[in-house]
Each structure stands twice: as structure tokens, then as C-alpha cells.
Amino acid sequence: MKMLYNKSLLIVLVFALFGLNGCKDFLEEDNESNFTQDNYFKTPEHAESILNSMYEGLRFVSDGAGTYGESPFMMLEFPTGTANTEVGQSIYNRNYRNLTANADDNYVNVWWTQSFESIANANLAIARIPEIEMNDSDKKRYIGEAKFMRAFHYFNLVRIFGEVPLLLEPVDANSELLYPQRSPVADVYAAIVQDLKDAEGAGLPFSDDTGRVAEGAVKSLLASVYLTMAGYPLQAGDEYYAMAADKAKEVIDNGAYYLFDDYDLLHDRDVKNTGEFIFQNNYSTGASITNPVTQLLLPRALGISQFSDEIGSIFPTREFINAHEEGDKRLEEQEFYYTQYPSIDDPNTIVEFPGIYIYKFFDEDAVLLSAQSDLNWTFLRYAEVLLTYAEAGLEAYGATPEVLSAVNAIRERADLAPYGSEITAQDIWKERFYELSFENKYWFDMARRRQVLNTETGNWEDFVGHQFTYGPTLTEKYLLFPVPQREIDNNTILTQNPGW
Amino acid sequence: MKQNFLKTMLTLVCFATFSAFQAQTTVTGTVTDTNGPIPGVNIQVQGTSTGTQTDFNGGYTIENVEGNATLIFSYVGYTKQEITVDNRSTIDVTLQEDAQALETVVVVGYGTQRKSDVTGSVSQVSNEQITELPVTNVEQSLAGKAAGVNVSSNSGRPGGNTNIRIRGNNSINAGNGPLYVVDGVIGAGPINYLNPNDIESLEVLKDASATAIYGARGANGVIIISTKRGGKGEGRVSYEAFTSVGRLTRKLDVLDAKGFLQTELNSYNNAQKYDPVGFSEGKYENPLTFRNNSQLFDSEGNPLYDTDWQEEATRTAITQSHNLSFTGGNSDQSYGLFLNYTNQEGIILESSLKRYSARFVMDNQVKDWLKVGGSITFNHVEENRVDGGQGGLTPLRMMIETLPIVPVTYPDGTYGTNANYPNMEGGENPVNLLRNKTNLIKTQTFLGNVYADFDLAEGLKLRSSIGTNIVNTQDNFYSGRTLRQQSADYEGEASVANTRENYWQFENYLTYKKEFNENHSIEALGGLSWQQYDYAYSYAGARGFSDDFYEYRNLGVGSNPLTPDSDTQKWALNSYFGRFNYNLMSKYLFTVTGRLDGSSRFGQANKRAFFPSAAFAWRVSEEDFLKDNKTISNLKFRTSYGETGNTEIGVYQSLASLSTSVAILGGQRAPGVGIGTLANPDLKWEKTAQFDAGVEFDMFNKRIGIEADVYYKKTTDLLLQAPVPSSSGYTSIYKNVGSLENKGLEISLNTTNIQTEDFMWTTSFNISLNKNEILALGEADDDIFPGPFFLSNTNILRVGESVGSFYGLIREGTWGSDEAAEAAQYNLLPGDIKHTDVNGDGEINSADRVIIGNGNADGFGALFNTFTYKNFDLTLDLQFSFGNDILNLSRHSGEDRTGQANSYATVLNGWTPDNQDTNIAQNRPSKAYYTTTIDSRMVEDGSFIRGRNLIVGYNFGGDILEKYNLSRLRVYASLQNFFLSTDYTGYDPEVSTYDDSFSQGISFFDYPKSESLTLGVNLTF
């Protein structure tokens, strides 16, 4: 019995010792599948990876965002009064089309959260890349790209929401900036301009056919920013027209970008990130990262494609089409729009559409063969730079030959007669309206000019009070979108935009 | 031996006759107690395999007895008697009730206690109660068996989808399911794959006194499962089997061919009203022009087919289950081997679950101071799941929405589909989907626990045990090349996902028991525990197959590989626990429990927490003034208070983990790393404090027994995935904010209504009421929308309300012709759905949403009646629930819209100028505007009474048993789910098609339940 006691005591002792020794590291937590902020930012590859996360962060704009054929880019198209939808249950699209949206709307939430997520990544990159041991010029380049990204998203946010929190450094749980106030619009623009200026001097190549940010994209965006600053709500002064025109001119003079001869190239998979395309959202079917836009824009359930579902999310109103000039090539079948297509089951049967649909983003390979589209979505293209130059240049320098040649390059491609010195600002606005239709430009133009084209009279009229052809009337509230209610709920010091 | 074994097998298969042994002496007699004869007493000839049981008159006959043999008479609750035969041929025996043995023993954490000594609230469910209902799933067998335990069998699919809540919902993000402890293995699972037949007893620990010993993991209640152990004495072979036939008996009312075509025409006729512009542009075609398609219509335009898709997609499902066990041993050792094969067909085509399981147990007294033993279980489960892809065009949805005018297959063998008819959403024919889409989930579970008990001194024992639970899951998926809206666009999609979960625990504890004198006794327990879990996941997939032949079995031939994925996770717990019981004069019982837990999941500063509890019970019936009372046989009051915790949040939430993503640059994948988790180094434990008061009251020699409990639980430091301003780049952070409470009442009543020599009628009734209220949510008490998201947030957490509240608009009906002007203010027309403008701002939008229902029951329970007449028995099992609402989301696509797929027959009651008193909108093509949103029309009362089970059984008596040398033979027939009384219009009010914490009652095309008939046999020899 005594021996038994000894034995048992030994056992107990062993357990006790194990208990004391074992528990020190036992409860330490160590994530082996992901880095943490503490153990990251050590190598040049880390800098590249965080930049990549920002390229991924652009995708939300043209990805799907709802169950019913919705995508965030459409939020900026429906309140222009030029679009319609065939998706009966698409509440978000209908609310903006009918101007019955509210702050609970999912679209604004997606724009807000996704843009700020990329801004947070940019802030982290800008704060932490300097501590990485690497080649100084690469470091500068990466930081330049990150600053472009930050400016890109703030430029969207300030135009969509007006005053927004201006966060330029990383935020953590104990940071006061976790609950920021909205910053004045002027401060946001100042930060955008500063970031873009920094990016201009970051040593980026002028163009880049892989889809990375290039100096040409920085300058094109900066031209757009200046043009917007010249208009509402900032009205920063006429010198901004000159600055916009000058910046656009730098892109034009460089010669790296040019207008495609053929509109087909605007939706050709072989010319991504080159030629007319300055900055794009990149997709690849090979990597199974695909673009839904072609499918979303097909006329609903007419059996013209390999897609199981042809959605009919958005198509132009007849009045929008009718507002074009006689002979505009862009209206010809299968240029920017189309009205018929062969049946997928029987190519000899032509399916006539009950309306006019957008052909600009039509991926023929996907429609006829693969049902997988990797067409890029375009944020900035050369036609916009030309029109920015024309619009700003006319304000700053008058109808100079350079101004006329910029706008006429667009018109000539559309088989329209060139403008002479009699050209007015409104003529250029219209050219932008036709050329950049459904590319997320027109609503921003409407808001900065506070002028909307009456598609029935052909005249420009005030934003506030403009009646859409199908009934609803724009009020002052629609000069901005609502701050997401969810964000106000979580940060009660935020205010809502007027009228929302 | 070999021969014997062969014989055994033969018996199993065809009940072959045993040849009787040569008789020497035959003994007969009657066994009685003070009340009369006792049926079912075991009589064993010592040292042999010979034995029998008394019949209903207490009589017995036993043959082949040596004249000097000893007979052992034993019966549960009575003192065992050993009587030497002494060449007598008649031996009558009177058994004495054994007060000690009569006591039920209940399993508590790290030990057992006599029921009378328990100070906490513990419900026991016995093996008999579990296997009463021949189910294949442990969770479902629990339903109605214990007060306070709400078991919702939310799906009819094999394997089920069961939601268990003990005393309500305590948490928002950290999980609300109970902790399972199987043979000492904490957190064992997946529990629904355990063989119910293996279970000896199941204890539900409900109050803090009972659960605090599991501290950090005990807040949602604990279910302790003890599996069957080996035998003592002679070897036994037991075979139990059942086979059942189930079918769909409750079909939903959908449009038939005539109704569909009529609705389509009605819709077209209203198109101009709702979309004048589109109509004038020719967007709508007269459907009469579609009816010349000779594939679908005859020359007169009448439909060729009128398919009942619910009939076509379902089948008569056959289930069989076989259990075979071998047990035996002697006074020092016992062993048991338990085998199971179950093959369950689902009533939806192709759905099935097969389980193969084997379990081995052994307990061995190696030395007088050392006992070792353990159990090892291996399960292999193969489930073909057909209801994946919730929310999409699943077979369950398509069996409602596929057009009746389309056939399953055309004469040439091709599948019919909605796409064969103009303007339809292209969901696939459900039969095609079921046959050409596979989701085969193979799960292998290893559950083992071995122990060594050391007797260190009088009353002092040390147990050391190692347990492990390994779960390997392979999820194989293939969706065929032709399935529209599934995988046709990718030319087939296949994937294989492997998950390996590995859990181990190492526990050591000392117990000490001492009786100082008849007035004082103590029992003490102290121990320590380590637990660790790791998880690894990998995924590979591909699209673009040249042939359906490969399915998921050769991903390499897919032309388009999907992004591979892998992940690992790990957590650890280290705990110290103790319990002290003090018994004063058998009248006053005190229990103090504590557990100190350390978890890797929490912030550096808060890794450890202590969870104490205390309880007191007063056995009033032991007091002098009641001791000899003839009416009251037992009266005990007990009360407890304590704290338990909850750690079930994701791992690494206190770290600033980065997340990964993939960009495309230069046409190539460019992996990105960006912000992920907003770190909270202060993250700590969620705590639930619970007060419980109960009474146990037995009268008339236990003919009437009542147990009742009231409780109040308050959970604080709720682990909330609290929303943060997304300007930070993050949307939420795990934080300890908020609190909620549950209060409730549980009553169980057991009565023996009639007890005569031949006839017995017993009743068991229980009812539980629970009320939940959210007390605080974060700093600003903002509403939280925990999901699921369907059209909008379906579910809201709001201070002052119960969890599980549905959130939406109020549907008043439809706008009438005389309300045209008012409707126009909302851009609507007479015939459109009329919602209440709650805030009166002239717009109907999400700001008008209110709480429109709640998925949790106010109360639930069960009523069991058992009648025994001679060898026959009959059990009637009724279950009920009241106050639970259903949010029937399928009305969104089945009723709110027409002309895109088939609809519920309710659309025939759509608004017309002559039928304005309706809450169904006027029929119109879905392309024209229509209103659909989460609203009160989707909310239905889900209260129900269910006839869950009706069983008739017959126990063969002594003659037959003797003749075939059996110790037990029972046959039974059972009718399950034989009636359902409810106002709910869907398949079944016990439903949830989502996995979110508060999705109980939220349904979007659920897997229906079957009514089934089962035949079974239990045989032991």
C-alpha cells in the first residue's frame, strides 16, 4: 500500500508539473494562415501585395451588388433620367430611376464602404511602405500608386456624398478617427490634388498596358478633378479651367494614348489598357474573375446569348436616343447601341428587340461562345481627356484650334460635321453626353454644372426642377446621394445631406 | 465456437430455431413484491448463460437447471436475491425494494449523482426514450423529451438540420447551441452523425449549478451523452432493426396548367395598365401567340402536359437501420462492440444519407487500485445533399416554380425546362437538377476517450483521461454542363473541399468522498484540463468540362481551374475546475462549483476568467413532519445561482489580421494583402448569470410526479460583431457590448393513471415558456441586423425586443379603385399592394419597417401517453409549440410576381376590379413594375400540434423466448408525423432554411418532411 501511495504521488506530481510548464505558451494565439499588421511590411513584395489589394478594391464598381441585376455603376446612371430597366424586382434601380430612394439603400452603402476600404488600404500602404527596406525609386513608385488610389476614391466620394470624413492615416480600434466628422469639401479636394501631384512626381511610367496606374492616368484624373473644382459645389475659380485644360493637354501632347478608329475596339478584349484606355478595371476569365456587365445589359430573356440568364438591367430611354444628332454614327446598329441580334439557337433568325440596348460593353466572345466575360470596365479613356480639354479649354482660352481639334476628333469619329469658332460650351457638353453615355460620367457632369439636357427640347436646363421624360422631377436633394443610414447610425456625429 | 458464431449469424438473418438443450430440472415459480407479482424480473442461473424473465403474472419457468445451481433474481429498483435450487421445482420469491437502487443516478459533469442529491436543474433522457422513436438522428430524438429544451427539426432532409436551444437564446454572435459532452469528450461532434442507438443516457444540464463545471463553454446549457458500455456476466447479442417508408403527404397548392395559362393571360391583359410605355413599344406579346408551339400544345392550343412537379421530384423513401451489438464481461472487466448500418433515403429524389459506425468499449479492473478503459467510435457518413445553394434556383424551389405545362422529359428524352416557354426565368427542371447535380459529403468521425482510475486511498480517486475527436469531411460537388442558371454558363463546375478537424483533451481530476457520520458527508472534486483544436481546410475546383462523366473525380480535365484555397485555425483552452458537495442530515444539500478557464481566443489582458456557482437544496420530505406522510413521497426545493461563459467566436479576433484578395494585372492573377480584422486587444468573455429555483414533488408512491423550475438568465459583455463606422475601412469589430435576458418556466408532469395487473396507462407532459429581451446593444443601442438578408434585412435586434424578430412593412391589402388618387402619391395604381406609410412621409420605403413577427416560440412542449396491456404497448407522442411565427419568403417569388415562373395558386385571388378585397396584387407580367418586399403578408402563425409518433409494440412472452432461447424479442410498428395541425400554409412550421443565429422560422423553399411508417424488431439473446 505504501508503494502504491508513492506511485500515485509521483503521478500527481507529474501532472502538476505538466500543468505548470505547459500552460505558458498554450494560450498564445498565432494566425498561421494570414499576416497581421505587426509582422507585415518587411519585403518589397509586401508593398506590391498591398497595392494589389487596391486594384482588387476597384472591382466593386462594375461587379454585381444585388440579387436583381444591380451593379453599383448603375446608381450613377438611373438618376440621370435617361435609363430604364426590365428587371421588375430591382428595387434599388427603380428607386433611383423614380427618385424615391432613401438612405437605407444598399447602393450608397456599397460605394461608401468599398471606397473607404480602399482608402484604408492606401493609408496603411502610405504609412508603412516607408519602413520596408527596398530600392528608393520602387518605394516612391508604390507610394505614388497608393496616393492615386486614395485620390481616385476620395474624388468619387466627394462627388457622390459631398462632405466626407477625410482620413489620411491608418485607423485602429482606439483611434479617435474611428468616429470622424465630415470634412469640408474644399479640404477633401485639397487632399485629392496633393495626392495626385505626389503621384505625378512618383516616377511612374506614362502608360502601362498591364493595368497599373501610370502617369497618364494620374494626369487625366487630375484634369478631371480640376474641371470639377471649377464647377459646383466648390466653384474654385476660372483658373481651374486653365489648370484642367493644361493638365489634359499634357496627356494629349504625350501621344501615348489615341482614339480608336473603330468603336468596336471599345469592347475588344485584345486592346485592354492600351490605345484609348487610360485606366481600367481588369478582369480575366482565365482566373475566373469575370465581368458581369455584358450579361446585365443584354435584353431580358430573348435567347440571343449563351448566358442562361439575360438580365435587361439597364437600357436607354427612347428620348435619350432621339436626342442625338441626325447621322450620328454612334447610333448606327452595333456601334454604341443595337436593336436586334441573331437567336443563339438559330443564327438565321434575327431577334428584334422591343427597344434599344447598349452595345458599348458587349463582349461577343462571351455572348456567342463562353458565357464568361472579361472585358475591362473603363474608368478613364482618351475621349474623356479630349472632351475635358475642350470643355475647360473653351472656358479658359476660347475656341482655339486645339480646343476645336479636340472636340472635332470625337465628332469626326461619329461622322458628324466639325465645329468651328461658333462653338458653345453647351455643344461640348452635348458631345460628352453622347460620347461618354452610360460610363458613369453624365450624373457627375449634371451635378458639377447643375445643368441637365432636356432630351425633348435639346436645351440645357437647371438641374433643380428638371423633369424626367417619364415623370419624376429632380429636386435639390438629388445634387448629392444620401450618406448611408447605417453609417450615421454607427457614427452619430455624422450629418445627413439636405433633404435626405 | 465458429459454428456457434455461424449459428448466431443465421439466427440474425432468418430467426432460425435453436435446438433446445437437454433438461435436467425445471424450476417454476412466481416473483412478487408487497404489491403483487412483478413482470420482467431477470432470473439467471449463476455461472451459466441460462436465464429468463418473469411474465406478466410474475411467473417463470426455467429449464436445464442443475439441482445444486443458484438462481439470481434481479430487477431494477429491487435488492438482488440469490437462491439455491436445492432440487426444488417450485421457488416463489418476494423481492424487497431497494431504496438506494431505486434512486435514479444522473450523470453530471465529471461524475454521477443520485437524483435526490442533485441540487441543480438536470433532465435525464434514457435510452428507451431516445430509441422509442426510430430516428436516425440524436438531436431529433431529443424533441419533447426534456422541459426547457427546444428542438426544432428544421428540415426533412436526411441528416436533418436541427436547431436546439436550452432555455432560449443567450448570445448574438457567439453561438446559441448547447455544448455536447460525449463520453467525457467536450464539444464532440458532429452530433447528428452519432448513432442514437448507441446512447445509454442523455442528461441536459440547464442551470448554472449544473453547467458551471464546464465554465467557459457552458452558457448555452450542456448535453452529456453517455454511450452504452459493456455487459457484466454472460455474453449477449442484441440486434435491433427497423425499416420505414416515408412520403410527402402535405403538398403545396400551386397553379396547374390551366391556372398557369389563365394567369399568364390575365397578366398580359393588365400589362398596358402597369407599363403603358413598354406596352406601346411592343414589349409584351399576347401569350395566345405562344400556344402554337407543338412541343407543348395541341392544335387547339391546349397544353399537352400538366406536370405535378412536387410529385415528380419526390419519391416514396425507404430507410433501414440495423444495429448489432455484442456485450459481455465479468466482475472485473466488460466489453462491448456496437455496429450500425443506416441507409436513409430522402423523399426528394437522390437525397440520401448512409452511416456505417462501429464502437468498441472496454472497462477493466487491472489491479485493485487501478481501473482502465475507454471507448472508441468510428463513423463513416455519406450524405447526398440536394438543398444546397439556398436562395438560388434549387430543386426545392424549382419543384414549386417549374411550369406545369412543361414535361419532365420530352418524348425524345430531353428534359423540359421553363426556358422552353417565352419570357420565363430559366431555372432548371427539378428532376434534371436532382439527377445532374451532386453534392456528396463524406464525413469520417473518430471519437475516443481512454481513462485510468487510481484508487489512492479510502474515498480518494484520481482519474486521468485523454480524449480525442477527429472529423474529416470531404465535400464533393458537381453541377452538370447543361444545367441552366447553375453551371451551363461554365460548362460544368466541380469542386472538392477537404476539412480536417482535430481536437484533443487531457484531463485529470481527483474525487474524494467521505461520510463523517450519518449527518455529515462530503464529496469533493478538483481537476485540470487542457483542450486544443486545430482545423485545416483545402479547396480545389474547376469549370469547363468536356463531359459530365468526370464529375468531381478528375478536376484536372476542367479547362478553367478555380482559385485554390486553404486555411488553418487553432484554439486552445486550459482550465482548472472544482466542485464541493456537502450533505447535511440528507435534508440540506449544498453545492459549490468553480472553473477557471483560459482561452487563446481572447485578448492578451483577458485570457482567463473564473466561473463560480452555488446551489442549495432542501429535501422537505426528509423532515420529521413529512417523513411518514402517505401522500407526499418526495418533496425537494432547490435553488442555484452562478455564472457561465461563452467563447464560441471566430479565432484571431483580437489580432489585426490582414486579409487576402486577388486582383488582375496584365491578365494575370495578382494576389493582394490588405486590411482584415479590426483588432480588439481587450476582447473578453461573454458571461451568463443564471438564477434557478425548482421544486420536485412526488405523490402517492410516485404515481404523480411534478418537477417545475423558474429561471432568470442575464448575459452581459455580449460578444458582438459590433458595427463600426465604415469610414475606417472596416465594418465591424468583435467587442464586449450589450446584454440580454431570458426568463422562463418549465413544468414536467409524470403520472401513472391506471395500474392494474394487466393494464397500465402512464402520461408524461411537459411545457416550457421562455421570454427573451434584449437589454443593451453597444454604446448607442443601435439596431443590429444579424441576417439573413433577403430583399432587405429580414431580422432585427432591437433593445426592448426579443431576438429573432422579423422586420418589414405592413401589408394592408391592395389599393382599391376608389383610392386611385391616394395610391398615385406613392406612384402606385389600384390593384397594387398597399403598405402602411408608418412615418407618414408620403413615401413607402425602408423607413416604414416595423417588427412584424418573431420566430421563437412563446412556449412548447410534449404529451406522451403510454398504454400497456399484457404484452402489448402503445405510445402516443404529441408535440406542440405556440407563439412562433414563420417568415415565408417564398411568397416573394411564388406570389408577388407572375409570368416569370410558376406561382402559388393564391395568385388566382389577385386583385381585379371585381375582387378588390384581397391582399394579392393584380396579375401582371413581371417585367411591368410590381411590389415585393419583406412584409406582414409573409408572416404566418407557426403554432402547431404535431402527432409525432404513434407506436404499437408487442413483447414476446416467456414461451416464445424460451423456445428460441432469447432474452428479449420485441416487434413494433410506428407511424411518424401522422398529423399536423397548424394554420401555416407551407410544408412544415418547424422550419429554417438559413444558418444564421436567429433564422428560426425563416423559410425560402424548405425540404419537406415525410409522413412515415416504420416496422422494427429488437432482439436479444
A9 pLDDT band, cuts 50/70/90, is low
Q: How far apart are CA A445 and CA A453, in angstroms?
A: 11
Distance from CA of B463 to the nearest CA of A (A): 10
Contacts of A137 (CB under 8 A, 6+ apart): A203
Rounded to an integer, the average pLDDT of B602-610 is: 85
**Whether the Cβ atoms of residue A119 and residue A150 lie closer than 8 Å to each other:** yes
Q: Are A239 and A355 in a shared domain?
A: no
pLDDT, tens digit, for every residue of B823-875?
998 889 999 999 999 999 888 887 899 999 999 999 999 999 999 999 999 99
Distance from CA of B582 to the nearest CA of A (A): 25
**Pick from B278, B574, B665: which is nearest to A55 by CB?**
B665
For residue A393, pLDDT over 70 is answered with yes
Which residues constitute the domain of residue A57?
A: 44-253
Does residue A329 sit within a domain?
yes
Does residue B191 sit within a domain?
no
CB contact (8 A) between residue B462 and residue A8: yes
Q: Are A212 and A298 in a shared domain?
A: no
Q: How far apart are CA B652 and CA B829, in angstroms?
A: 54
Q: What is the CA radius of gyration of chain B?
A: 32
For residue B740, pLDDT over 70 is answered with yes
Give the residue with greater pLDDT, B393 vs A8.
Answer: B393
Q: Which of A247-256, B73-82, B287-296, B692-701 has the highest mean pLDDT?
A: A247-256
Residues of B in contact with A179 (CB under 8 A): 725
Rounded to an integer, the average pLDDT of B738-749 is: 95
Query: φ, ψ for residue A237 (rounded to 5)?
Result: 125, 155
**Whether the Cβ atoms of residue B371 and residue B456 lie closer than 8 Å to each other:** no
Distance from CA of B125 to the nearest CA of A (A): 35
Rounded to an integer, the average pLDDT of B36-55 is: 79
Q: Are A176 and A300 in a shared domain?
A: no
Q: What is the pLDDT of residue A174?
A: 87
Helix H, strand E, coil C: the string for chain A is CHHHHHHHHHHHHHHHHHHHHHHHHHCCCCCCCCCECCCCCCCHHHHHHHHHHHHHCCHHHCCCCCCCCCCHHHHCCHHHCCEECCCCCCHHHHHHHCCCCCCCCHHHHHHHHHHHHHHHHHHHHHHHHHHCCCCHHHHHHHHHHHHHHHHHHHHHHHHHHCCECCCCCCCCCCCHHHCCCCECHHHHHHHHHHHHHHHHCCCCCCCCCCCCCCHHHHHHHHHHHHHHHHCCCCCCCCHHHHHHHHHHHHHHHHCCCCCCCCHHHHHCHHHCCCCCEEEEECCECCCCECCCHHHHHCCCCCCCCCCCCCCCCCEECHHHHHCCCCCCHHHCECCCEEEEEECCCCCCCEEEEEEEEECCCCCHHHHHHHCCCCCCEEEEEHHHHHHHHHHHHHHHHCCCHHHHHHHHHHHHHCCCCCCCCCCCHHHHHHHHHHHCCCCCCHHHHHHHHCEEECCCCCCEEECCCCECCCCCECCHHHHCCCCCHHHHHHCCCCCCCCCC
Q: What is the pLDDT of residue B52?
A: 82
CB contact (8 A) between residue B489 and residue A308: yes
DSSP strand pairing (B27-33 vs B93-94): parallel
Identify the domain boundary among A328, A351, A375: A375
CB contact (8 A) between residue B658 and residue A35: yes
Does residue A414 sit within a domain?
no
Q: How far apart are CA A355 and CA B279, in angstroms?
A: 11
For the ranges A58-67, B47-56, B722-731, the lowest mean pLDDT is seen at B47-56
**Whether the Cβ atoms of residue B452 and residue B370 lie closer than 8 Å to each other:** yes
Q: Are A307 and A239 in a shared domain?
A: no
Q: How far apart are CA B903 and CA B895, in angstroms?
A: 6
Closest CA to B387 of B425, B426, B419, B346: B346
Q: What is the pLDDT of residue B863?
A: 96
Rounded to an integer, the average pLDDT of A23-50 is: 85
Mean pLDDT score of chain A? 92
Query: φ, ψ for residue B400 (rounded to 5)?
Result: -100, -35
Q: Are A244 and A346 in a shared domain?
A: no
Does residue A320 sit within a domain?
yes
Query: φ, ψ for residue B814 (rounded to 5)?
Result: -125, 155
Closest CA to B387 of B332, B348, B344: B348
CB contact (8 A) between residue A372 and residue B490: yes
| ipTM over 0.90 threshold | yes
Mean pLDDT score of chain B? 89
Residues of A in contact with B657 (CB under 8 A): 31, 34-36
Cell numbers representing residue B585 in the block = 442530515
Does residue B571 sit within a domain?
no
Burial readout B462-474 (b: 16 or more C-beta within 10 A, e: otherwise): bbbbbbbbebebb
B141 near A CB under 8 A: no
Contacts of B444 (CB under 8 A, 6+ apart): B378, B379, B380, B381, B471, B472, B473
* Residue B996: burial class (beta carbons within 10 Å; 0-12, 13-18, 19+): middle
Does residue A219 sit within a domain?
yes
Residues of A in contact with B846 (CB under 8 A): 102, 104-105
Q: B967-971 long-range CB contacts below 8 Å, 24 or more apart?
A: B967/B51, B967/B52, B967/B53, B967/B236, B967/B1020, B967/B1021, B968/B53, B968/B238, B968/B1018, B968/B1019, B968/B1020, B968/B1021, B969/B1017, B969/B1018, B969/B1019, B969/B1020, B970/B1017, B970/B1018, B970/B1019, B971/B1015, B971/B1016, B971/B1017, B971/B1018
Cell numbers representing residue B640 in the block = 442555484
Domains: count for chain A: 2
From A470, which residue of chain B is nearest by alpha-carbon distance?
B277
Residues of A in contact with B485 (CB under 8 A): 308-309
CB contact (8 A) between residue B897 and residue A371: no
CB contact (8 A) between residue B489 and residue A91: no
CA distances from A35 to B2, B660, B931 (A): 62, 9, 46
B565 near A CB under 8 A: no
A294 pLDDT band, cuts 50/70/90, is very high
* Residue A38: burial class (beta carbons within 10 Å; 0-12, 13-18, 19+): exposed
Query: φ, ψ for residue B875 (rounded to 5)?
Result: -125, 135
pLDDT, tens digit, for every residue of B407-456?
999 999 999 999 899 888 778 999 999 999 999 999 999 999 999 999 98
pLDDT, tens digit, for every residue of B939-950?
999 999 999 999
For residue B22, pLDDT over 80 is answered with no
Q: Which of B433, B481, B664 to mutate to test the interface with A (most CBs of A within 10 A)?
A: B664
For residue B627, pLDDT over 50 is answered with yes
Residues of A in contact with B426 (CB under 8 A): 301, 308-309
**Pick from A46, A118, A306: which is nearest to B489 by CB?**
A306
Does residue B1019 sit within a domain?
no
* Residue type at position B129: Q
Q: What is the pLDDT of residue B606?
A: 85
Does residue B39 sit within a domain?
yes
Count the Cβ atoms, other than its own, within 10 Å of residue A239. 12
pLDDT, tens digit, for every residue of B865-909?
999 999 999 999 999 999 999 999 999 989 998 888 999 999 999
CB contact (8 A) between residue A287 and residue B724: no
Domains: count for chain B: 1
Does residue A410 sit within a domain?
no
Does residue A76 sit within a domain?
yes
CATH number at residue B81: 2.60.40.1120
Q: Are A233 and A305 in a shared domain?
A: no
Which residues constitute the domain of residue B88?
A: 23-97
Residues of A in contact with B530 (CB under 8 A): 22-23, 26
Q: Which of B673, B832, B838 to mutate to test the interface with A (most CBs of A within 10 A)?
A: B673
Distance from CA of B229 to the nearest CA of A (A): 27
Rounded to an integer, the average pLDDT of A5-13 is: 60
Identify the domain boundary among A253, A283, A313: A253
Query: φ, ψ for residue A275 (rounded to 5)?
Result: 65, -110
B20 pLDDT band, cuts 50/70/90, is very low
**Whether the Cβ atoms of residue B191 and residue B159 lie closer than 8 Å to each other:** no
Q: What is the pLDDT of residue B21?
A: 41
CA distances from B232 to B178, B335, B432 (A): 33, 9, 55
Distance from CA of A12 to the nearest CA of B (A): 8
Q: How far apart are CA B475 and CA B495, in angstroms?
A: 8
* Residue type at position B1008: P
CB contact (8 A) between residue B652 and residue A34: yes
DSSP strand pairing (B222-227 vs B179-182): parallel
Does residue B43 sit within a domain?
yes
CATH number at residue A169: 1.25.40.390
pLDDT, tens digit, for every residue of B117-172?
889 899 998 888 877 777 778 888 888 888 889 988 888 888 888 889 999 888 88
Sign of CA dihedral B550, B536, B787, A112: negative
**Pick from B528, B671, B846: which is nearest to A102 by CB?**
B846
Does residue A206 sit within a domain?
yes
B368 near A CB under 8 A: no
Which residue spans within B491-559 are E strands per DSSP?
A: 493-517, 520-543
CB contact (8 A) between residue B657 and residue A31: yes
For residue A427, pLDDT over 60 is answered with yes
Contacts of B796 (CB under 8 A, 6+ apart): B783, B784, B785, B805, B806, B807, B851
Q: Is B617 helix (H, G, I), strand (E, B) or coil?
A: strand
Burial readout A470-497 (b: 16 or more C-beta within 10 A, e: otherwise): eebebeeebbbbbbbbbbbbbbeebeeb
Does residue A469 sit within a domain?
no
Rounded to an integer, the average pLDDT of A101-119 is: 93
Report the Cα A231 to chain-centroid distance in Å: 20
pLDDT, tens digit, for every residue of A199-213?
999 999 999 999 999
Q: Are A130 and A233 in a shared domain?
A: yes
**Whether the Cβ atoms of residue B543 and residue B558 lie closer than 8 Å to each other:** yes
Distance from CA of B520 to the nearest CA of A (A): 27
For residue B796, pLDDT over 60 is answered with yes
B679 near A CB under 8 A: yes
**Pick from B658, B926, B930: which is nearest to A37 by CB?**
B658
Q: Are A246 and A300 in a shared domain?
A: no
Q: How far apart are CA B339 and CA B341, in angstroms?
A: 7
How many contacts (CB atoms, under 8 Å) link A and B?
Answer: 284
**Whether the Cβ atoms of residue B940 and residue B252 lie closer than 8 Å to each other:** no
Number of residues in chain A:
500
Rounded to an integer, the average pLDDT of B211-222 is: 89
Closest CA to A67 of B114, B38, B606, B792: B792
CB contact (8 A) between residue B462 and residue A26: no
Does residue B160 sit within a domain?
no
* Residue type at position B121: S
Rounded to an integer, the average pLDDT of B584-590 is: 93
Identify the domain boundary among A345, A375, A405: A375
For residue A371, pLDDT over 80 is answered with yes
Q: What is the pLDDT of residue B76?
A: 67
CB contact (8 A) between residue A309 and residue B425: yes
* Percent of chain B residues past pLDDT 90, beyond the cut: 60
* Residue type at position A129: I
For residue B374, pLDDT over 80 is answered with yes
Q: Are A201 and A81 in a shared domain?
A: yes
pLDDT, tens digit, for every residue of B521-577?
999 999 999 999 999 999 999 999 999 999 999 999 999 888 899 999 999 999 999
